[in-house]
Structures are given as structure tokens and as C-alpha cells.
Amino acid sequence: MKNEIIKSNPAKDWSQMGWRGIMLNQGTVWIDEEGRLIAINYQSKFELDLKNKIISGEKRKLHPSIAKFKTPECVLQTSKFKVRIDDLGNGNYRYASWSTKKSMSEKPDLVITNGKWFQEGTGGNHRFEFKKGQYVYECYIAPMREKDAAPANLTIYQNKKVILSQEAKIIPR
């Protein structure tokens, strides 16, 4: 990354991206108008190998029916359910859920694919939406909530009517 910055041509390799700041190449480094560092989106080979090793280990702990995915997104736990969301690639997300008493190594009670990710504003809040027949399962993740508020919610709709809404915590995988 250091060499990428040193060898960069300011006129060619750095781009002004409006209010978001200035980026190097395709977003490797972001700075603001005053030159202060905003973000570094770089992974070394060591970091990438470690990430792949961790994901591979995680896949071995899951029920075989859901052990294939591109990247894990999150695991939520409500008072009744444990919900796992994985990125299957190409904008396709998977919802798998168990009762809280079950382990993720057991077969999920419910699996829904073809879920979608939606950004909510610019503060990091986002939601995943999964449709199955007349039901919509919405997992809302809100890192910008008030201090005592739950960081996530699970809401289930039947024909656009809320039939379940529970606060959720984000749990380590």
C-alpha cells in the first residue's frame, strides 16, 4: 500500500468524490479536503489469508446445508431466534434461523435465499430483506442508535402487516 501511495500520480490516480472525499485508485485510500485520512481499504496477503482461514473454520462449524457462502455478514439473536445472514455473492443474501436453544451446527429451522441489502442513510444503518411467499423477514442493523437501544431488530411481515418485531443483539460468530 505504501508503494501504491508513493508511486501514485495525483492528477491520474486520485479522484474527487464530492462530499465523500478524495480516493486513491478504486478506493484503496480515502482522504478529506484537508488531506486527513478517512479510510484505508487495503488487505495484505497475510490479512487476506487469515480472513480466509477464519471463514473456512467458521464454515466447518455450520450445518452442511448452509456451509457454502462468499462472506459472513452477521448473526443476530432475539428472545426467540438466532438469525445468520451470509453473502452468497452477486447481491444475493441468505437468511438462516434457529430457535435460540439450537446450535448453528444443527439444520436451520428456516432458510431463505435471494435476500437484498439496503443502505439506510450515510451513518452505517442498513437492512436485509428476505421474501418467502406472503412473508417478508427484515433484519435492521443500526450502529448509529442511541446508547441504550438494541443494535438490531427482526421484523416479520405477513401481507405487509407486522406479525413479529423483536429487538436483537449482534453476537460473535
- The distance in angstroms from the start CA to the end CA of the chain is 30
Tell me the per-residue pLDDT of 63-81, one tens digit each, with 9 for 90 and over: 999 999 999 999 999 999 9
Query: Rounded CA gap, 139 and 167, in Å?
Result: 10
Tell me the per-residue pLDDT of 41-60, one tens digit each, with 9 for 90 and over: 888 899 999 999 999 999 99
Tell me the per-residue pLDDT of 8-39, one tens digit each, with 9 for 90 and over: 988 899 999 888 889 999 888 999 888 888 88
Q: What is the pLDDT of residue 126?
A: 92
Q: What is the pLDDT of residue 169?
A: 94
Q: pLDDT-derived band of residue 61, with 50, 70 and 90 as boundaries?
A: very high
Q: pLDDT-derived band of residue 122, with 50, 70 and 90 as boundaries?
A: low
Instruction: Kindly give the pairing relationship between strand 92-99 and strand 81-89.
Output: antiparallel
Q: Where are the domains of the chain?
A: 2-40, 64-170
Q: What is the pLDDT of residue 143?
A: 80
Q: What is the pLDDT of residue 104?
A: 96
Higher pLDDT among residues 2 and 167, named by residue: 167
CB 150 within 8 A of CB 135: no
Judged by average pLDDT, the poorest of 6-15, 58-67, 88-97, 144-153 is 144-153
Q: pLDDT-derived band of residue 121, with 50, 70 and 90 as boundaries?
A: confident
Buried b / exposed e along 149-171 (16+ C-beta atoms within 10 A): ebbbbbbbbeeeeeeeebebeee
Mean pLDDT, range 157-173, rounded to an integer: 93
pTM of the model: 0.79
How are strands ordered across the β-sheet holding 29-31?
Answer: 14-16, 22-24, 29-31, 37-40
